[in-house]
Amino acid sequence: MAKEGSGSILQFAPFQSSVDEGFWHRLSSLKLNKFGIDDSPIPISGFFAPCSHSQVSNHLTLLAESLPSDSNEESSMPAIAQSNRNRCSVPGILYNTNTMESFHALDKQALLKAEAKKIWEDIHSGKAVEDCALLSRFLLISFADLKKWSFHYWFAFPALALDPPATLVDLRPASQWFTAQEAESISAACNEWRNSNVTADVPFFLVSIGFDSHAAIRHLKDWEACQGNSQKLLFAFYDPCHLPNNPGWPLRNFLALICARWNLKTVHFLCYRENRGFADLSLSLVGEALITVPQGWREHQCVPNAVGWELNKGRKMPRCINLAKSMDPTRLAISAADLNLKLMRWRALPSLNLDILFSVKCLLLGAGTLGCQVARMLMAWGFRKITLVDNGRVAMSNPLRQSLYTLDDCLNGGDFKATASVRSLQRIFPAVEAEGVVMAIPMPGHPVSSEEEKRVLEDCKRLNDLIDSHDVVFLLTDTRESRWLPSLLCANTNKITITAALGFDSFLVMRHGPGPFNSTTDLKTETTNSLSAAIDNLALTNKDGRQRLGCYFCNDVVAPTDSTSNRTLDQQCTVTRPGLAPIASALAVELLVGILHHPEGIFAEAEVANSNNSGSPELPLGILPHQIRGSLPHFQQMTLLGHSSNSCTACCHTVVSEYRKRGMQFILQAINHPTYLEDVTGLTELMKSASSFQLDWDDETEEADDECIEL
């Protein structure tokens, strides 16, 4: 390397800091569990090693072990491996403030000065000669924002400034400065020094070369002893810096010590650097520096000026690191949940559209056995936006079957299910966007008095708004009649609607077809025009002429009415085999995932099991049925298809048109007059004509409470 012109100022490459994530993790845990608001300074250790790469300097690194251990780990942690050759310890001090304001208000000059004074005193007392690790100290100020998992911090590596600064006479690679014989001897001696448990982490030392070119490494305290019996004496240090023309920062305080204690004017120094764990003398430097002893340095009362605050990208400002991604439990839960879904996509379902699942808004009407279970299944599939509607409170009998509740929710009269379920969902997965609405669903056959009328109409309006603002509606209430209004509103708006209903030991899970006005042209014309039979037929089909799929009410020949009065207790309460609700809920959600992945969505034709298309590669999720019926006594499950009926009390053209024309008046009439819906839809007519035939109904048909076409 080029010889520096004699007289140029010797410039040192500043230390660079590196803070391992583990340091911040432990600091957070200590701050929370041990320190509390105590912000007194904490002694810590940094670690460094000689440069080991021709292009990169080594950093002063803070690790979890830099801090005292958190109390809970104390017993199980083994003692820090002593004398790790690449972890030379540097004493440091941490000022962690409680607020951002006090972080900024710290008197940085005074803090730096205080650390420099420690170094200065150790030099004068001779402690630094005995234990040379004391020559390199560091200072860290920080503010740990534990709510945001962000850490503001600033390092200083106090260096005693020589005034006037040292000048450089000569600086070149050590391999050029030494004779080959000397170099070989030095390398061997250094490697031995670095491999011994006793000396590997002693970062300052003397290299003495005898007249026989034999090199020996001595401790600083042997300086006097080295006088006279060596041809060359070099002051060596582990140099973290890689630069070919500058020594690293530790040399500064070393020169201060040499100057203050031994009063030398000319200093030969060795910047010891390594490659792959061995001394590398072409990377190491040897320099000759001239020092003018500054005035007053003999008296140790007057502390020299200190410098050393670390720059951040060349500017005097603190650094900031945000670790929310690895510390915020909510974020960790999200990424773990994502992982499961992604694994599913990577390994089994490459066409799985997670974005749809994340963004679809689900409305769950009913937060009982079915509602709780559906909500959990939705979350398992990655759905994040869930609204639960229920007007009930959690009763003592609920928690065993309704999987979102615990005994606590039943106390003091019980919390509203809508509130308790949301709370529970958030506990399970904090990133869920769940909302609870305490509201009763107006039902036909449950007449309302004129005082109640206003409230009922408001509820209708509210339900309508809820359905409008969601993409999917689940009908999970425990009575037939409570499903009527939502079925109608969903048919009116063509929302994806899924019904799950339970008997004692059998269940039905189905998706509703689109409503009668399922194309935009229909929407405009039909609302105003009078109806004709022709259009009535049209309304049974989709816009492309296929028959619409039925809704929950399409197969019924009676209008929904009060099904709870005049029943015995076991009929009133929904008594079902406990396994039923989880099965039905799981199927309901699987059905939804199927619809969302079908290119035609709500208009998708019904497929049934065992037909040719099963196992087709285009259907990675399998077939998309219309209805699934299962029965526990036979452990049987069937997929069924039922088309829409033009006398359906909820989704037929007549009813939806009537609702569009008369709105809430129509609803009120339906609620207050049990037979009104049957009259409007022609069911009354149908029943009359049917009874006139005196058909011989089988008991069978009564049992299967609606006609399904089994395929």
Partner 1 sequence: MDVLNWDGTLSAKDFRIGAIAFAQKWETLNLGYPPWSWVPSPKHPPLTSPQEEGYLSLEKIRISRPKQEDVDQNIKTDTGEEETSCSEKEDDIDDATLVQSSHHELQYYDFHIVYSHTFRVPVLYLRAYRSDGRPLLLDEFEKDLPACSVKELSKSKWTFITQEEHPYLKRPWYKLHPCGTVEWMKLLILGDTSQPKFEVVLELYLLSWFSVVGQVIGIRIPVNVLSDCR
User: Which of residues 316, 454, 567, 662 is near partner 1 by CB under 8 A?
Assistant: 316
Q: Which residues pair with 558 in a beta bridge?
A: none
Residue entry with tokens 């080959």: 180
Measured from the CB atom, the residue of 149 and 507 that comes closer to partner 1 is 149
CA 216 – CA 228 distance, rounded (Å): 14
* Window 250-269: residues binding partner 1 (CB under 8 A): 252
- Segment near partner 1 (CB under 8 A); pick from 176-184, 323-331, 362-370, 592-600: 323-331
Distance CA 235, CA 250 (A): 12
Whole-angstrom distance, CA of residue 358 vs CA of residue 612: 32
Q: Determine, following the binding rule CB under 8 A, whether residue 56 of this chain makes contact with partner 1.
A: yes
- Least distance from C-beta 3 to partner 1, angstroms? 18
Contact 84, 65 (CB under 8 A): no
Between CA 277 and CA 420 the distance in angstroms is 61
Our CB check for partner 1 shows the closer of 294 and 594 to be 294
Q: Which is nearer to partner 1, 14 or 366 (CB)?
A: 14
CB-facing half-sphere around the CA of 506: CA atoms within 13 A: 13
Q: Do 511 and 549 touch, CB atoms closer than 8 A?
A: yes
Task: Decide whether 347 or 634 has the Cβ nearer to partner 1.
Answer: 347
By CB under 8 A, tell whether 147 contacts partner 1. no
54 or 537: whose CB is closer to partner 1?
Answer: 54
Residues belonging to the chain:
711
In the complex with partner 1, the residue whose CB is nearer, 87 or 653, is 87
Per residue in 304-341, is it b (16+ CB within 10 Å) or e — as a string? bebebbbeeeeeeebbeeeeeeebbeeeeeeeebeeeb
Residue 708's identity, in one-letter code, is C
Show the tokens assigned to 387: 């609204």
Closest distance between partner 1 and the C-beta of residue 617, in Å? 17
DSSP letter, residue 440 = P
Give the shortest CB-433-to-partner 1 separation in angstroms.
23
Say whether residue 313 binds partner 1 (CB under 8 A).
yes
Cβ-contact 203, 132 below 8 angstroms: yes
| Residue 694 CB contacts under 8 Å (≥ 6 apart), including other chains | none
Size of the site for partner 1 (CB under 8 A): 63
Per CB under 8 A, does 73 bind partner 1? yes
Secondary structure letter of residue 606 according to DSSP? P
Per-residue binding string, partner 1, 325-364, x by CB under 8 A, is xx-----x--xx--x--xx--xx-----------------
d(CA 528, CA 115): 86
Q: Is 185 helix (H, G, I), strand (E, B) or coil?
A: helix
The 10 Å Cβ neighbour count of residue 412 is: 7
Cβ nearer to partner 1, comparing 313 with 688: 313
Contact flag: residue 192 with partner 1 (CB under 8 A): no
- List, in sequence order, every residue forming a beta bridge with 173; answer none if it has no partner: 285
* Beta pairing, strands 433-438 & 385-390: parallel
Q: Which is nearer to partner 1, 45 or 403 (CB)?
A: 45
Q: Which of 4, 14, 287, 708 binds partner 1 (CB under 8 A)?
A: 14
Among 4, 19, 177, 629, binds partner 1 (CB under 8 A): 19
Nearest-approach distance from CB 323 to partner 1, in angstroms: 7
Rounded to a whole number of angstroms, the minimum distance from the CB of residue 93 to partner 1 is 19
88 is catalytic: no
Other Cβ atoms closer than 10 A to 91? 19
Smallest distance, partner 1 to C-beta of residue 63, A:
9
Q: How far is the CB of 511 from partner 1 (least distance, A)?
A: 32
Helix (H), strand (E) at residue 630 = strand 627-631
Q: Catalytic pick from 241, 320, 410, 573?
A: 573
> Interface residues with partner 1 (CB under 8 A)?
9-14, 16-23, 25, 53, 56, 59, 61-62, 73, 76-78, 104, 108-109, 148, 150, 152, 161-162, 165-166, 243, 246, 252, 276-277, 307, 309, 312-323, 325-326, 332, 335-336, 339, 342-343, 346-347
Instruction: Cite the active site residues.
Output: 573
